[in-house]
Amino acid sequence: MRILLALLLFPALAHAETAVGFRVGGYGFREPGTDVGWQDCRMNGVGLFVDRALIPLISLEVGLDAYFAHQHDEAAEHEHSHAAMDRVSTLLSAAGALRPFPGARVSPYVQLGVGVELTRVAVDTDEASYVLPLAFFGLGGDLRLGRARLGAVFRMHAMGHFDHTAELSVEPELAAQVQFYAAVTL
């Protein structure tokens, strides 16, 4: 059975499309009860990713992203009782995507991913480094222009959020993210 499965899948994998891309984006956590919305701990960043079609409708993406936040606005600190915070994070992730129209010029997709966040956080005089799990669900789409793809994806993350009101503590929360990307098929 394994040999038959390997013989059936090998031609699809041998001719699978691989793309390498660059992305920019940002994310923020929701702060209920304020007018901040999804802007708490707003982080911006850049990343690289490799996307490989496994079978015609399913692809796998592996990414490496760097995000940073520097919140030192004294007016915002007093208004929302936040202490100054610096945060630098590296995200390593893997995601599976379902593309219903993989060869189309415009290709929407959904993705589900997991990963790990390596982060350094400093709040006032407290500073610590963490390794935190993350998971996300994404909805995106891209425009194919020859070998190039331009696209955007909205992701909802479950990841670590730091309470930076008085002391440094982490808890799991939802973060909304938007990424814009460009990729080239090899």
Contact 94, 114 (CB under 8 A): yes
Long-range contacts at 123-128 (CB < 8 A, ≥ 24 apart): 123/83, 123/84, 123/85, 123/162, 123/164, 123/167, 123/168, 124/83, 124/84, 126/167, 126/168, 127/168, 128/168
Predicted confidence at residue 128, as pLDDT, reads 85
Predicted confidence at residue 77, as pLDDT, reads 46
Contact 148, 184 (CB under 8 A): yes
Predicted confidence at residue 86, as pLDDT, reads 82
pTM, whole model, 2 decimals?
0.81
Predicted confidence at residue 82, as pLDDT, reads 57
Nearest Cα neighbor of 94 from 115, 109, 79 is 115
Print pLDDT tens along the chain (186 aa).
666 555 555 554 455 689 999 999 987 776 666 665 656 677 889 999 999 999 889 999 999 999 988 665 444 444 455 567 788 999 999 999 999 998 899 999 999 999 999 999 887 777 889 999 999 999 999 999 999 999 999 999 999 887 766 567 788 888 889 999 999 998
Give the domain ranges of the chain. Answer: 18-185
Nearest Cα neighbor of 66 from 169, 143, 179, 176 is 179
Is domain 18-185 annotated with CATH 3.40.50.1820?
no
Q: How is residue 73 annotated by DSSP?
A: -
Q: Which residue has the tokens 């222009």?
A: 145
Predicted confidence at residue 40, as pLDDT, reads 67
The answer for residues whose C-beta is within 8 angstroms of residue 119's C-beta and 6 or more apart is 87, 88, 89, 90, 129, 130, 132, 160
Predicted confidence at residue 75, as pLDDT, reads 41
Predicted confidence at residue 19, as pLDDT, reads 94
